[in-house]
Structure 1
Amino acid sequence: MSLRDRKRERTRQALVDAATELFEQRGYEATTVADIAAAAEIGTRTFFSYFATKEDVLFPQGDARVAAVLDAIAARGPDDGPADVLLRALRQTAQDSDDLVSPLAALRLRLIQTVPAVRGRGLQLQLDAQREIARHLADAFGDRLDAVGAAALTGAFVGAITGALQVLLEDPERPGDPAALQAAVRRATDFVFAPWLGHAERA
């Protein structure tokens, strides 16, 4: 990345870190965008060049995960099936970021369950992501999937990850080590999708 891009990424991460701390300390409703911006030492107007809403701070890696799936679809091999590329994208995002198993992920889950605005935004982002991924799957695997099948497979993929994370992040007895949590998610999704994997992915 260029120096400018690195600076933007540091500012973006500072906003996420500040929001996470304030939401934990004060509660979501009691924290304003101005509070988050001040804690990150930037202006309130600058906040909106990084995130459109306060809710969006809780979903900082959503676009990156969708991009990883689309990249995996585009880079598919001749022996890859739809499930292969979806699971490969999950592994790549796990290597690139621990967002799905971080303290922010646990906070995000709690707020989705208790704050209607966060739940609504999370659902909208999830539906938008599923629609885009399913469209690319149907285009790439038109000989195997129609639009309905691609939507069903994408929904099963997202549902498997969401269901596994909900149990993992809510279990007080489970260690919070990101690597262990990512491994548990991978085992769960591999199990769910085993019947649909190609020979190369099973080997």
Structure 2
Amino acid sequence: MTTAPGLRERKKQRTRDALIRAALELFTTQGYERTTVDEIAEAVEVSQRTFFRYFATKEDAALAVQQMVEERYVRALGERPPEEGPFDAMRNAVLGAWDAIGEAIEEVVPVELYIRAYHLIESTPALFAAHLRRSAEIEERIARLIAEREGLDVDEDPRPRIATAAFGGVMRVTGRLWGRGEEETLESIRALTERYLDQLGAALAPRWRA
């Protein structure tokens, strides 16, 4: 009997999600470096070979949910109305994505586990370096998307990359401050992000003093 493609895909997604949950639980309780792929696979009762069907490395499993969050933002940016300027489009995309991201995260892992994993990424040098590398790749995609929206050549006009770098800098600052704070909720990081993004224009003004 042949299994319907939809059912097969759902089963694969469940296995992938289970591997992510097991990996993040193990990483956040016993440490990233001390956790092996065998332990992750054993927790889900699959083989090491099955793990590597879904993830090339432990790093990929550790960053999977964060990557999903970033991809959701890029998708939201691509759907912003064309009449919005670059900063408005990026701001509205990220805030809109945060409004709905909790439900998307919960489909994979509990939000509490996602928050613990976020702290793990920030405090683990290997993961933090990988996260920064991926962030740079995302920023390049966003710069090209902004250039396309504005009808510009990203390699001739520096503004898309400059605007994206400024915006990405704000996002990194708010993420770091949120990680140090006491209120660890998605609502609090959204509020902090909105507050700092609202100051972006003022921070880029030629003069700050009255």
Whole-Å separation in 2 of the counterparts to 1:12 and 1:169: 27
SS in 2 for 1:182: helix
Q: 1:166 aligns with which of 173, 176, 182?
A: 176
Distance 1:106 1:21, change over 3 A: closer
Give aligned pairs, total.
191
Alignment check: 8 A CA contact 2:74 2:142 kept: yes
Q: Which has the larger radius of gyration?
A: 2
Which residue of 2 is the match for residue 199 of structure 1? none
Are 1:21 and 2:25 matched, yes or no?
yes
- Unpaired runs of 5+ residues, structure 1, are 197-203
Q: 2:146 aligns with which of 137, 146, 169?
A: 137
Question: By how many angstroms is 1:191 displaced?
Answer: 3.2
Are 1:184 and 2:188 matched, yes or no?
no
Whole-Å separation in 2 of the counterparts to 1:60 and 1:25: 18
TM-score of the pair, normalised by structure 1: 0.78
Write out per-residue CA displacement over residues 9-35 of structure 1, whole angstroms, 9 at most, x where no aligned residue: 332222222112211222111101111
Question: By how many angstroms is 1:74 displaced?
Answer: 3.6
Q: Letter of the aligned partner of 1:36 in structure 2?
A: I
Distance 1:143 1:169, change over 3 A: same
Write out per-residue CA displacement over residues 107-134 of structure 1, whole angstroms, 9 at most, x where no aligned residue: 444444443x223311221111111111
Distance 1:112 1:181, change over 3 A: closer
Alignment check: 8 A CA contact 1:37 1:47 kept: yes
Alignment check: 8 A CA contact 1:68 1:89 kept: no
Alignment check: 8 A CA contact 1:134 1:151 kept: yes
Question: By how many angstroms is 1:150 displaced?
Answer: 0.9
Matching of residues 121-132 of structure 1 within 5 Å: 121-132=130-141
Percent identity over the alignment is 31
Whole-Å separation in 2 of the counterparts to 1:119 and 1:103: 17
Which residue of 1 is the match for residue 114 of structure 2? 104
TM-score of the pair, normalised by structure 2: 0.75
Whole-Å separation in 2 of the counterparts to 1:155 and 1:46: 38
Q: After the TM superposition, which of the residue ranges 59-68 and 75-84 deviates more from structure 2?
A: 59-68
Whole-Å separation in 2 of the counterparts to 1:81 and 1:143: 13
Alignment check: 8 A CA contact 2:82 2:149 kept: no
SS in 1 for 2:199: helix
Alignment check: 8 A CA contact 1:69 1:133 kept: no
SS in 1 for 2:184: coil
- Unpaired runs of 5+ residues, structure 2, are 1-5, 106-110, 205-210
Distance 1:25 1:62, change over 3 A: closer
Q: 1:149 aligns with which of 139, 142, 159?
A: 159
Write out per-residue CA displacement over residues 78-121 of structure 1, whole angstroms, 9 at most, x where no aligned residue: 4311112212221232133246x854344444444443x22331
Whole-Å separation in 2 of the counterparts to 1:30 and 1:87: 38
Which residue of 2 is the match for residue 200 of structure 1? none
Whole-Å separation in 2 of the counterparts to 1:8 and 1:93: 25
Q: Letter of the aligned partner of 2:16 in structure 1?
A: R
Matching of residues 115-126 of structure 1 within 5 Å: 115=125, 117-126=126-135
